[in-house]
Amino acid sequence: MRHRTHIIYMGTPDFSVPALQELAAQDDFFISLVITQPDRPKGRGKKLAPSPVKTAALNLGLNVFQPENLNTKEARDKLLSLNPDFFVVAAFGQILSQEILNIPKIMPINIHASLLPRYRGASPIQASILNMDRETGVSTMVMAKKMDAGDLLLSSSTPISKQDTAQDIHDRLGLIGADLIVETLHTILDNRLNPTPQDHSKATYVKMLKKGDGKIDWNLSNEQICAHINAMTPWPGAFTLLGNKIIKIYKATPSDTPFSDILTHHEPGVIFQCDKEGIHVATGKGSLIILELMGISGKRLKARQFLCGHKIDPFVRFDLA
């Protein structure tokens, strides 16, 4: 019978929770410590709130450590005293020094939400939707000092539909990652897996998103804008301006209105029709129909509901700047 494998787990957001729960459910794994970011102010009241991983860890009866900086002598000594076989890291939110990465007896492993080497960095889920990829996935890799550049272990893919939002893919990849990390650890322990170097020439990088990244460029095609809306949902949220009012758009679909008709009559961003289908907007190529949106009321509404309280007269134009 295999001895219990000692793991230190590091993660912070919702994405990291399924893997923690799945590892904790394995009889042959022992999670000696869960490391997550310190409690942060949240909500309108700015009250300190625990990370999703801290909440999950406490519910599992696990020990939690929340350093502002893990790369200190005190933190290093704490981790060394636990003599872990593995680190498992999923969206922890701190860069680990080589001294820290050298601590596990076997290796430090990262769970990354892309099919590496594509989309190294902070927003791989959004990038896969923005680029209208047909699939995305999760990769496990040996952690290296350079971001997301370590040797690959295993990967698992999932298709992306035209309706999938970043939230949909996030939730799906969190569950896939949970299964994949268990398979990865078992395969390593059974000596059936050798790390494979990434092809660095094929690497692409994605930045951390800012609120401003949600702004819609109506000069893009209808399909590109719909992909943008999906990628920005739920955060930072796709938005545009109607006059001086911010309009958030949560759901839209490309229209089959002939491109020649739109091009002849309407500039990109022009609302040219409002009906039971939704709000029809011309784009740089084709048009789209807004299905769900939110105005100053702060309520997410179906287009039909929105139009009941917010009269829109064609042919007003969404802001392009």
CATH fold for the domain made of 212-309: Methionyl-tRNA Fmet Formyltransferase; Chain A, domain 2 (3.10.25)
Q: Is the pTM of this model over 0.85?
A: yes
Q: Where in the chain are all domains bearing CATH 3.10.25.10?
A: 212-309
Question: Residue-wise pLDDT tens for the chain (321 aa)?
Answer: 458 999 999 999 999 999 999 999 999 999 999 999 999 998 778 899 999 999 999 999 999 999 999 999 999 999 999 999 999 999 999 999 999 999 999 999 999 999 999 999 999 999 999 999 999 999 999 999 899 999 999 999 999 999 999 999 999 999 999 999 999 999 999 999 999 999 999 999 999 999 999 999 999 999 999 999 999 999 999 999 998 899 999 999 999 866 555 555 789 999 999 999 999 999 999 999 999 999 888 899 999 999 998 889 889 999 865
Question: Is 153 in contact with 184 (CB distance < 8 Å)?
Answer: yes
Q: Where in the chain are all domains bearing CATH 3.40.50.170?
A: 5-206
What's domain 5-206's architecture? 3-Layer(aba) Sandwich (3.40)
